[in-house]
Structure 1
Amino acid sequence: MTTRRRLSGPERRAQILDATRLIVVEEGYHAVTYDRVAAACGVTRTVIYQQFESLSGLLVAMIDREIEHAFAGFREAVARPLPPGEDPFTHAVAGVLDAVDAAPTTWRLFMLPAEGGPPELHQRLARARAVTRSHLSRITGHHTDPELSIRILHAVADELVRLRLTAPAAHPPSRLLAQARLLSRTLTTR
């Protein structure tokens, strides 16, 4: 007879958040209920209530944990030393694609958000867009219209990440980075 080890509070919380993330990614926010999460974790609803006082609190905790994880990947991507001859935009996109490949479920939450997310999701997404555009403003160079260049690069980076998430076999990093490099020559030349 095998006995299961009882999870600590933080371990149980992580398990609940993982289950919630999976339900959201596979079925959307509307599918998250106390019963669904409890069943996915093999616990009672009471255990979920002990960790999260409300369903919206559970969703916000999951969003906050995942956005922090995505931000960590982004910060690591843009902080890597730039190799000689590589342009900063393509190098940053390469790092972000590495982060996406390391945690695709996390990145799906934000790059392919399900309908019905709480207002906090949209607040976090707006903050993420601002951080990304701030980084892009440092690498676009001097153009007639830097704001437009930043917006275009942001849209390109977002689409490259979406392609990697939705059809990774058809969109290997080498293919995506070739496009990033091509566009970067036009929009980041100093």
Structure 2
Amino acid sequence: MTEQNKEIATFAAGCFWCIEVQFQQLKGVAKVESGFTGGHADNPTYKEVCNGTTGHAEACNITFDSSVISYDELLAVFFTVHDPTQLNRQGNDMGTQYRSAIFYHSPEQEEKAHYYIKRLNDEHAYSSPIVTEVRPYTIFYKAEDYHQNYYNENNEQGYCRMVIKPKLDKFKKVFTDKLKIQ
């Protein structure tokens, strides 16, 4: 990947463990880092974010090669891997830290995010309107080390088996042609 083709997308779509492993599967994605963004506290810990007092969302910074996978394709994945109509929750995970949000890095990313939301709403792709926030990227705080690559290092843990694995299996079926390993 050249510096010219290197881009970053930042998405919040519920639990970062769930989306981290899904984006890791995609051709063109070089790195996925779990962390926190969109809040008001400096250097928040996982525990502080989970208490809901920092304003941060669990999110992933996704470094990708735009000559292999486009931002548009990443947006398509984003809107498929979670329910963007649920306000401040995904499944049983509830609180503002689990909100749906796109943190754009450029005017082009902002424009595409708004375009996708409008199009999906206009087409009634979901039974309810999309509540995904679109906000400028500011500061991203990397989560503690044990959150990085979480599913791959803890796939026998209960949450991984019961929540993440079924989502990952479905994801692999939907995006077969985009996977690093098929």
Calculate the TM-score normalised by the size of structure 1. 0.25
1 or 2 for the larger relative contact order (CA 8 Å, sep ≥6)?
2
| Bigger Rg, which one | 1
Structure-2-length-normalised TM-score: 0.26
Indicate the structure with greater helix content: 1
